[in-house]
Chains A and B, each alone.
Chain A
Amino acid sequence: KAGVTQTPRYLIKTRGQQVTLSCSPISGHRSVSWYQQTPGQGLQFLFEYFSETQRNKGNFPGRFSGRQFSNSRSEMNVSTLELGDSALYLCASSLAVRGTTEAFFGQGTRLTVV
């Protein structure tokens, strides 16, 4: 079956703009998590959605927001972009929320803010 699909793969934006990233989870997976990966910082958790509800949120400013649709697809939005938002944004899907359920990651969206 198809894996996790993230679009777009690459994005260049200027400071102050806003951006929306999309994630389509594996069919049947209801949990979608978003992570930010920057050099030296590993994978930092942004938020998790399950059945259209945000179940958990990481320590990111309110400029970072997300939502999940009824088909489990999720979008992540970053407003008023800053240079430090340049990173690889990864989406992961899993069958259920946390516990022993392994997450499957997409290839990520590489965002560059100039």
Chain B
Amino acid sequence: DQQVKQNSPSLSVQEGRISILNCDYTNSMFDYFLWYKKYPAEGPTFLISISSIKDKNEDGRFTVFLNKSAKHLSLHIVPSQPGDSAVYFCAASVEMNRDDKIIFGKGTRLHILP
């Protein structure tokens, strides 16, 4: 049973446009969410996170939106740049339960087209 779902395996976006990556979760106990970015031959790197007490967190070109009622979060990249081409992993955990593991989605491969 996948608790964190990224239903789009890949996404192509024109350079300069907005990239929107989606993530759904099933466990209502999750209260902390993270996005990681992974280039080929490298380990994932932390991008941005959001706690369930917020519905939006912004860091430069990256914004994460959280809709708790829909158990949905999304990552917006504006404007998209060629270096954004990578695999993006959504992850979730229970912030208050320090013994809980972080659950990752399967990832979405983003292609930024010139």
Q: Which of the four size classes fits the interface of chain A? A: 20 to 34
Q: How far is the CA of A56 from the CA of B32 in the complex (A)?
A: 18
> Which residues on B are within 8 Å of A, measured CB to CB?
6, 9, 32, 34, 36, 41-46, 49, 51, 89, 91, 93-107
**A103 contacts B101, CB within 8 Å?**
no
**B95 contacts A56, CB within 8 Å?**
no
Q: Is the interface of B mostly helix, strand, loop or mixed?
A: loop
Which listed residue (A44, A98, A105) contacts B44, Cβ 8 A? A105
Binds B, one of A34-42, A61-69, A72-80: A34-42
> Which residues on A are within 8 Å of B, measured CB to CB?
4, 6, 33, 35, 40-45, 48, 55-56, 58, 90, 92, 96-100, 102-108
Contacts of A6 in B (CB 8 A): 43
Contacts of A104 in B (CB 8 A): 45-46
The 10 closest A-B pairs by CB, nearest first: A105-B43, A42-B106, A43-B104, A102-B46, A98-B98, A56-B101, A105-B44, A97-B98, A45-B101, A106-B43
